[in-house]
Amino acid sequence: MRFLCLASFFFLLTSFTLRGDRLAYRLFTAAGQPADYDQMMQELAAADVVLFGEQHNDALAHWLELQVAKDLLKLKKPGQLLIGMEMFERDVQPLVARYAAGTLADTAFERQARPWPNYGTDYRPLLQFARDNHLPIIGTNAPRPFAKVVAQRSLTALDKLTAADRTLLAPLPLKVDYDLPGYKNMAAMFGGDGKAHGGGAQNIIQAQALKDATMAHFIETSRQPGQTLLHFNGSYHSDHHDGIVAWLRQSAPKLRVKTLSVVTQEQLQTLEKEQVNIADFVVVIPADAAKTY
């Protein structure tokens, strides 16, 4: 009888014991197959451009961005790795360059460079890593005032920009392909076809296109042959090889581009159907993972 009681107790104990590791993330290929991190890094190191599509408030994604940057540096020769960031606009690039060179203090940089509100927790570690390892940092985004005026008045609002202002953007005028899936999705959010909508959706799509095209332009023009530019951007700018990737295809079709995208799921065992082919590599984060804001 005592043996049966002990056996029953052991069965109950093991029945309620959690088994296996609690993974912080899982990595998949575009097709949804489990991916090997080291193999992924070899492919990223061979690329000309790596677009890391993040969710801006995802703490685990920001940690992984730093790990990818560190591991890419190990795989590249000196002078072959650059860091590009959506989070800094072209008009503050001189400040970004001074910070990377170690000639601008943290306090002055944060006061003058208009960093995002979550800079301290999410992006400062990347900049400090780049500065400590003498890696160029490229702010690639269109200045906010230009994107805002396009959203309000369309791309024609840029027609009379000065020559100096034009250097902060992709070459104008822009020819927007409204049939790109990302732009079509934006039009659907506003209830119709972006081409058919006067103002509204069309202007917002044009503002998005201005950002995508500007980031693509400065990604392309900032790197030299043999270099890998690791670029951090919101995933919508590169998911489905759209956005930035589409503009790069127009201007530099021979560039070898690899994409990553961070998504959240309730379970990490398999890649859910809607995430298949979203990027060359998909990082799945638990839905209850910490957010920075």
Q: Say whether pLDDT at 196 is over 60.
A: no
User: For the segment 106-157, what is each residue's pLDDT rounded down to a tens digit?
Assistant: 999 999 999 999 999 999 999 999 999 999 999 999 999 999 999 999 999 9
Closest alpha carbon to 117 in 47, 37, 57: 57
- What's the rounded mean pLDDT across residues 178-203? 77
Q: Can you tell me the mean pLDDT for 184-210?
A: 79
Instruction: Output the pTM of the full model.
Output: 0.90
Write down the residue that tokens 């039009």 correspond to: 187
pLDDT higher than threshold 50 for residue 15 = no
φ, ψ dihedrals at 65, nearest 5°:
-55, -45
Closest alpha carbon to 170 in 138, 139, 140: 140
- Could you give the residue ranges of the DSSP H alpha helices within 102-241? 106-112, 124-132, 144-153, 163-166, 181-189, 200-222
Question: To 10 degrees, the CA torsion angle through 176, 50, 79, 171?
Answer: 0
pLDDT digits (tens, 9 = 90+) for 237-280: 999 999 999 999 999 999 999 999 999 999 999 999 999 999 99
Instruction: Categorize the per-residue pLDDT at 9 as very low, low, confident or very high, splitting at 50, 70 and 90.
Output: very low
Position 16 scores a pLDDT of: 45
pLDDT higher at 2 or 104: 104
| pLDDT for the residue 78 | 95
Distance from chain centroid for Cα 279: 11
User: What is the tens place of the pLDDT at every residue in 70-111?
Assistant: 999 999 999 999 999 999 999 999 999 999 999 999 999 999
Mean local confidence (pLDDT), 6-23: 51
DSSP secondary-structure letter at 28? Answer: E
- The pLDDT, as a whole number, for residue 193 is 54
Q: Contact at 8 Å (CB) between 42 and 11? A: no
- pLDDT computed for residue 192 by the predictor: 60
Query: How does DSSP assign 219-260, residue by residue?
Result: HHHH--TT-EEEEEEEGGGTGGG-THHHHHHHH-TT--EEEE
